[in-house]
């Protein structure tokens, strides 16, 4: 349930970033979907209270936006995003969209449960290696979240966002925002628009960074970075032993 998972993942990432930040000064950050909120907190653009408040409303509005619609999100592996979009478009479904453009060969789709099921075989017949259902309760980054975006803009109007201390690549356009107003707009629009992670990784590559740290309980983003041909080393803080090793490396 997204009302539980969003604050839980956010707090986990925030705690790791707080401890790690005492040892490492990032040159820039990026966060995938919910991780964008953690990224702005890490970069000094948000304070903890506002970030938690924002996530509470974010999760609530997303659940409300879904309503009683039965939805599903699935990862399509081994197929180009343009081919996926064409298949979805040809279906002429009521609600069927590509929502996370994660790598050249991984795209997440969202839609009505029946329509997702109806398109799986065609995706496999036309080249997809796998179609894997995700354990989520809302169709994030889909047009079904438009009302949630409108409500979030009102919440953000009441919050004080600062320009971050170092660059943050945002999901909406894979760009680094230039104003606090732009940050707010992008944070709200993000949940009803596709995550442009391929473009974000292409932006990241231009900076030629040598070390990358994935600060949440998984290795997913490190894997996606490699699929997007990001060069350099990767440390995924997916267990306590890895985390301790990293701190020891920096002398704590």
Catalytic positions, please? 33, 141
Burial class (CB in 10 A: 0-12, 13-18, 19+), 136: middle
Task: Give the integer Cα–Cα distance in Å for 219 and 239.
Answer: 10
214 sits in which H/E element: strand 211-214
Task: Give the integer Cα–Cα distance in Å for 124 and 78.
Answer: 9
Angle at 222 between CA 105 and CA 22, to 5 degrees: 155
DSSP SS3 for 217: coil
201 sits in which H/E element: helix 197-205
Q: How far is CA 99 from CA 85, 190, 208, 239, 252, in A?
A: 10, 10, 28, 29, 40
Q: How far is CA 246 from CA 118, 212, 213, 238, in A?
A: 46, 12, 10, 12
Largest CA distance in the chain: 57
Angle at 228 between CA 226 and CA 233, to 5 degrees: 30
Cα 167 off chain centre by: 17
């Amino acid at each position: 349930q997204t009302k539980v998972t969003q604050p839980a993942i956010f707090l986990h990432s925030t705690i790791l970033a707080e401890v790690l930040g005492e040892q490492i000064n990032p040159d820039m950050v990026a966060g995938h979907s919910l991780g964008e909120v953690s990224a702005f907190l890490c970069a000094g653009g948000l304070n903890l209270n506002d970030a938690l408040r924002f996530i509470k409303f974010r999760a609530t509005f997303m659940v409300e936006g879904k309503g009683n619609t039965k939805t599903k999100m699935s990862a399509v592996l081994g197929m180009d995003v343009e081919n996926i979009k064409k298949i979805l478009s040809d279906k002429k479904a009521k609600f069927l969209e590509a929502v996370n453009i994660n790598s050249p060969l991984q795209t997440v789709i969202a839609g009505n449960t029946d329509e997702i099921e109806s398109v799986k075989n065609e995706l496999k017949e036309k080249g997809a290696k796998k179609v894997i259902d995700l354990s989520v309760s809302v169709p994030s980054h889909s047009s079904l979240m438009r009302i949630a975006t409108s409500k979030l803009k009102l919440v953000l109007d009441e919050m004080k966002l600062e320009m971050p201390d170092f660059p943050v690549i945002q999901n909406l356009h894979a760009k680094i925002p230039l104003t606090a107003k732009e940050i707010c707009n992008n944070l709200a629009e993000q949940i009803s628009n596709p995550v442009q992670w391929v473009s974000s990784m292409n932006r990241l590559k231009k900076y030629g960074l040598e070390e990358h740290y994935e600060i949440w309980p998984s290795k997913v983003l490190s894997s996606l970075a490699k699929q997007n041909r990001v060069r350099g080393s990767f440390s995924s803080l997916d267990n306590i032993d890895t985390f301790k090793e990293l701190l020891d490396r920096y002398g704590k």
